[in-house]
Amino acid sequence: MRWSNQEHISSDMDSNADERGHRYPQRRVDTIHGNTTNDKVDNNYIANRRHSLAHINFRKAIDRSLSLPDITEEPNHLQRRYLEYFIKFLFLCFIFIYFLLIRILFLSSIFDSTIAVQLLNASSGIYVGRTVHYGNRTIQQYLGIEYGRTVKRFDRAIPILKENDRIIQATSLGPFCKPTFGSCPGNIGVNVSLPTCSISYGIFSVKSYPAEQCLFLNVFIPVTTDPPPTITSGNYPKKKAILMWIHGGSGQIGTGNVFDGTILAALGDIIVITFNFRLNLFGFLSSGDSRLEGNLGLYDQALVLDWIYQNAHAFGGDIHRITVGGHSAGAPHAYYLAKSPFNQGRIRRLLLQSGSPFNIWSHLKAHDAMEKFNTVVNDNACGIWRTFDEKLKCLQERDFDLIAEHEHHSYTSANHTNVVTAGYFMSEFREEFQLNDTLADVDILMGSTDDEGVYVAIVPIIMEQSNPEIITLHNVNFTEVTLKFLDAMQPDKTCLHQKALELYHIDKIPSNCSESLECYCSAFYNYSRLITDVLFSNDYYRFIEQRLKYSNHTYLYQYSHRTAQEHPTPCNDYLHKQDLVGHFAELEYTWGTPLLYEEPNSTLHLSPLIEYVRYGPNMTTDYNFTHMYTKEQIEFSKQLIEQWSNFIKTGQPTSPQSRLHWPPITNNSIGLFMHLQVNQSEVKQLVIPPSVEFWKNKCPDKKTSSPRTNSMNNDAFTTDITWEIVFGCFIFSMVLYSIHSFQ
């Protein structure tokens, strides 16, 4: 009986051995058959083996139900099974990562009514921005995107390239480039890196801090409200035209941060991009030759154009509709960029406001550059070195908080760095157009205000006063101030100086005129008209005449609506009563300032990125705009935005709201231009002003000097230095207004 039981157990064990293969067969045989020689079989051992067999069969059933490898399988077979499961796991991970990347890469291209743009995947990084609303319009803001970085001072910047998939916050404005010394109110001591600096441009003002690594841009994108596209219908979102805006400031001060592009983008349905570029000695220090080419600020602007062209697809921009615009010095900069070898046909249109590439203050000749270089060297205690390389190295090693470009105001020398008409960037620029002009087919919208010189005209007067910080009415002789200005600016036309006094009605000013505010302000305004022609209008019309020789793609305007900006003289009230139209007048309307306060109980819910410092009766500044703009002014601002944005989109400054056809000018003798005024805009015949025609006259003998200049050093009054006075006027006036606004 015992044997039969033992025989049964042996049979079960053998069958299990057949099922499991030859794992442990020898041990089993030795154990079982080793006991057959004994007369007695250990019943406890047999019971334990039965329990072990039952456990193994149970594990096999569980393994099969879970489709896991059998733990009793051979080693090679088990490895193959685990390899198969590992490959399946990797495949699932790949699918997950693939869809995650698709979401990240293409989320920034979603422009529908329900999903706002959150991420911008650009060549420089992946950015998350801000979503704001203007009425029922949604605008995505990407602020403070670094587009370039300088490895070494006075070298060209290199583009920022994305290094990883880290998401970068783009929700606040970046630092601005260091301005000219003394033009940043709010700084204390030598440390100019405090976040208390106020930069103003017209009525626009922003507070931030300067930094040497200052190459940042801002993008304003209107979110399309069309239905989401479908593959079957082919209804994809239309790419939007792009405005690349260059700020003014004579290349010495300013920042793109003062231009809030939210409203212009929302109403115009265009993408607006503002940015910083290096200023003064950091951006325009030059030797006039290959030792130090200069024009680094222009090279920075070319980097922005590259960034736009490379990333337009990511933010819905149309690379075939890029407009570069600018105001004051930003206008000639825009033209220089379009004319440079870096354009390569990428710029379709130009928007030039209150500045032209021919303005005497917009550039300097190569042989003037070294004078400016030496001035900067001496002002920064690097004049002790002998060679050019040693002086340049000294400037490169100077601490950022200490190095600066200083003002040197006089009638004969301002000693500012500026764009130099030499080197690779400016190699194609000419003041005499040729038949094969590369910009003949580029659309240009350009114009000026009625009184461009009314702000900068204050500088020659300040030069005559003992304390430039306090403007007084005493002992101001406008006749003498004008003659000194003309001696410096028009030294080869001394025969016209006396006639100019008569033309502008500043030849017979009463000796006690300064005692009367009315008399003083009237004389000042007449004198400022002469400044307007000499510094702006003469070169503006000269450019138009050259342009019209070979192109019929030009639209002109004249802006005649008063500004809200204050004037830093006792004539503030007088000039506003006379509907002052100054250098910055149109900006508050083309950038939509009145629309921020469209109604007393506005539901627009838009918080501006900047401050607005405007004129108010009996006060220096006024921040309460609620009742400052009339309904007519608000509609006028909408009209200008419509005309500007339609030009950017189509090349034609149309406006259904104004119902006026604005034709391009094809001939200066029969050409038409748009005269822009509130409720009175109209198309007029272009007529070159008589005062501009007057300055086309020449003296019979260019060497003849007037008697009043015989006692002066005539060598100082040459055409090579006339630009310096203008440049000084621009900088000092803008610095003065910044200080006024900050105070």
Active site (catalytic) residues: 328
Cβ atoms 323, 648 nearer than 8 A:
yes
SS (H, E, C) 271-321: EEEEECCCCHHHHHCCCCCCCCCCCHHHHHHHHHHHHHHHHCCCCCEEEEE
| Neighbouring C-beta atoms of residue 385, cutoff 10 Å | 14
CA-atom Rg of the chain in angstroms: 38
Q: At residue 332, what is the residue type?
A: P
Beta pairing class for 619-622 and 614-616: antiparallel
| Residues paired with residue 273 on neighbouring β-strands, in sequence order | 219, 244
Please report how the helices 43-66 and 2-20 are oriented relative to each other, as an axis angle in degrees rounded to 10. 30
Name 49's Cβ contacts closer than 8 Å, sequence gap at least 6: 9, 13
Torsion, Cα of 147, 151, 154, 158 (10° steps): -40
Residue 711: C-alpha distances to residues 446, 495, 533, 719 (Å): 42, 17, 27, 19
Q: What length is written for the chain?
A: 743
239: left (phi over 0), alpha (psi -120 to 50) or beta: beta
Residue 638: C-alpha distances to residues 264, 618, 633, 678 (Å): 9, 29, 9, 11
Tell the residue number behind the tokens 């057959």, with chain if given. Answer: 36
Name 695's Cβ contacts closer than 8 Å, sequence gap at least 6: 490, 493, 496, 533, 534, 538
**What beta strand segments (E) does 35-154 contain?**
119-122, 125-128, 130-134, 137-146, 148-149
